[in-house]
Each structure stands twice: as C-alpha cells, then as structure tokens.
C-alpha cells in the first residue's frame, strides 16, 4: 500500500543515446537525398537545354528551307536554287554560328562552350554531351522498307537542292535524344 506522504516523481522524457543516434542518421539521410535530388535536377535541366538547342536549330532550318530559294535571301551562303550551284554546307554553317548569325548565341549547357557538331552520339565518348548531330536523310529506292538512310551532314554536301535533315542532341551520357526531321 502506497504511503500518502510520498509524492510521485516526474518521469523524464529525454531521448536515449540510441534515439539520438537514429535521429542524427535520419537527418543525414534527408540531407543526402536532397543533395542527390538537386544534382539530378541540374543535370536534367542541362539535358532539356540541349534538346531546346536542337529544336531551335530544327525550327530555323525548317523556316529557312521555305525562304532560301527566293531571290535576295539574306544568308547567301545558305541559299538554294540555280544561283547557289556549287555551294556547300561549309559555306552555310559559318554564317549560322558566326558572330552575327541567327544561331550564334547557343552554348553547350554541359561545357558552357559554343555548340559542337558531331557525326553521331556515341555513349563511349562522354565529351559529346550536349553536342548536336545533323544528318542528311538520303532516300532509298521506291518500295524499300526503309524510306531514308541517315548519313552525317558534311562540309562537302551541296545546299543548292532541298534536303531532308534530322537534328538530334546528345544527352548527358552522349546518348541521342529525340530527333526532329525537317526539310531544308
């Protein structure tokens, strides 16, 4: 039987050492997850910028493809038709990415350097992250199962005729992202 003169002692609610250790570990895990999430977000944004660069190139090529056969086209090295006989991609590209070119302000989001053009995206070469690949689509024989055969656009390719092009950006792992096909 309890004695009436004794008062109950207050119970202490302090965490034990193992409780403190667990809470510290939990805080460390939360900070790590937030850090990894931030890194993934930043890298994802870089991939999106490289896709936007490819889309901007595809949009410009599509719009220029409609106008470049008209007389007095502003970028004479990219013009088409009889007046442009003998002109090649080597004449057009410097006008596009030069200081006053319509696509001169684009940078590779992974390196912050001017855009690099590659023959293809190659995952074994990580330096191609953010590079653009422009391929010319060569038509195959009528009735073939494959309508076009892609080949890298080279400096020797003539620009006096209409061309089917495919523009692709290489992502962080140098894998090709979604390609856009245009008529230039």
30-69: pLDDT as tens digits: 999 999 999 999 999 999 999 999 999 999 999 998 889 8
Cα(184)–Cα(182) distance, integer angstroms: 6
Per-residue pLDDT tens over the stretch 89-138: 999 999 999 888 899 889 999 999 999 999 999 999 999 999 999 999 99
pTM score: 0.81
Rounded mean pLDDT, 142-152: 89
Cα(146)–Cα(182) distance, integer angstroms: 17
Rounded mean pLDDT, 20-26: 96
Above 80 in pLDDT, residue 8?
no
Q: Which of 150, 159, 27 is nearest to 82 (CA)?
A: 159
Above 80 in pLDDT, residue 154?
yes
Please say whether the dihedral angle defined by the alpha carbons of residues 103, 109, 114 and 117, taken in this order, is positive or negative: negative
- Residue 1: pLDDT band with limits 50, 70, 90: low
pLDDT of residue 4: 63
pLDDT of residue 9: 77
pLDDT of residue 3: 61
pLDDT of residue 52: 95
């Amino acid at each position: 039987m309890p004695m009436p003169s004794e008062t109950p002692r207050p119970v202490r609610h302090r965490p034990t050492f193992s409780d403190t250790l667990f809470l510290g570990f939990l805080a460390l895990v939360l900070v790590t997850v937030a850090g990894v999430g931030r890194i993934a977000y930043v890298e994802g944004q870089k991939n999106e910028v490289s896709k936007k660069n490819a889309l901007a190139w595809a949009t410009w090529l599509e719009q220029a493809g409609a106008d470049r056969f008209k007389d007095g086209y502003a970028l004479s090295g990219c013009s088409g038709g009889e007046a442009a006989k003998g002109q090649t991609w080597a004449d057009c590209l410097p006008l596009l990415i030069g200081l006053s070119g319509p696509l001169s302000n684009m940078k590779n989001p992974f390196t912050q350097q001017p855009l690099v053009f590659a023959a293809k995206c190659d995952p074994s070469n990580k330096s191609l992250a953010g590079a653009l690949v422009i391929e010319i689509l060569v038509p195959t024989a009528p009735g073939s199962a494959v309508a076009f055969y892609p080949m890298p656009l080279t400096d020797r390719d003539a620009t006096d005729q209409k061309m089917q092009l495919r523009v692709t950006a290489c992502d962080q792992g140098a894998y090709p992202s979604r390609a856009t096909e245009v008529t230039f």
